Structure 1
Amino acid sequence: MNSRVTAFTLLELVIAIAIAATLAVFAVPSYQSHVARSRRVDAASALYRAAQFVEAAVSNDATALPPGLDQAPPLGTAVYRLRALPADDTNGGYSLEARPVETGPMRDDACGTFVLDATGLRTNRGVDDAVVKNDNDCWNTR
């Protein structure tokens, strides 16, 4: 009887591990940036939904956002908390902000807090309320 044992050689195993490691090095950061981008899109979308609510409720002087409009994503664990800010001379009647939850995954994001006002001005503020970005990188929904 001729019995043959088949198995991986050490070289084949090392090559397979090297390929898996190379894929992980490129795939994990790409996946993390995709997740962060989708969370930013959630925040921007939530601000637009809240703005529609505030626009419709202007006659009722509603300043508090109802449940479901006060966080992003609207269902599940909040990544951003939304709130309406009072009117001033520059915001056109109201301003909304989506601030990352302090213990959440976006707390150290470069985009910081998303701000949308009644004039349509979109900005992002950092921890010290300074404007960190005023371009479309954070608001890009494509």
Structure 2
Amino acid sequence: MTRRTTAFTLLELVIALAIAATLAVFAIPAYRSHIARAHRIDAAAALYRAAQFVESANPDAQRTLPPGLDRAPESGTAVYRLSVLPADATNGGYAIRAAPVDPGPMSDDACGTFVLDATGARTNRGAGGAGGGGEVAADAVDECWNRR
């Protein structure tokens, strides 16, 4: 009676690893891109919720956001912190800023800080964190706010 043993050959193992590595090369960046897009959508939605709160609040009251509205997402680990900016000549009475938490998954994102003002203007400031920088290009702003 002979025993027959079966196993993977080295060639089969190398082929399986090559296929897995190829899938990982394409899947991981796509996954990270999807997660970043989801965080940006959370920030935009949080800005709209905060704007609704500010619009309905007493105009004489100090404009601060209550807990839950001062972050995105509302529950879990904060990825963006929201704050109300004072009125100036161009923002229609207020602006709300969503700055990436540093350190955080979006702290070096190209969209930087999201800003929504009372006139409905949507902009992004500074690439790479809450620190600032200039305005983000208009076509990039469209992508940041998911308008495409």
Q: Tell me which interval the TM-score lies in, with the shorter structure as reference length.
A: over 0.9
Please identify runs of 4+ aligned residues in structure 1 that moved more than 3 A: none
CA distance in structure 2 between the aligned counterparts of 1:80 and 1:107, rounded to whole angstroms: 9
Check the 8 A contact 1:83/1:96 in 2, yes or no.
yes
Percent identity reads: 68
Which residue in 2 is equivalent to 1:92?
92
Q: Is 2:15 the partner of 1:15?
A: yes
User: How far is 1:61 from its partner?
Assistant: 2.5
CA distance in structure 1 between the aligned counterparts of 2:61 and 2:51, rounded to whole angstroms: 13
SS of residue in 2 equivalent to 1:61: coil
Question: What are structure 2's unaligned runs of at least 5 residues?
Answer: none
TM-score, normalized by length of structure 2? 0.91
Check the 8 A contact 2:113/2:132 in 1, yes or no.
no
Aligned residues: 142
RMSD: 1.3
Which residue in 2 is equivalent to 1:132?
136
What one-letter code is carried by the residue in structure 2 that aligns with 1:121?
A
Residues 24-80 of structure 1 deviation map (CA, whole Å, 9 limit, x = unaligned): 000000000000000000000000000000000043534100000000001111100
CA distance in structure 1 between the aligned counterparts of 2:31 and 2:49, rounded to whole angstroms: 27
SS of residue in 2 equivalent to 1:132: coil
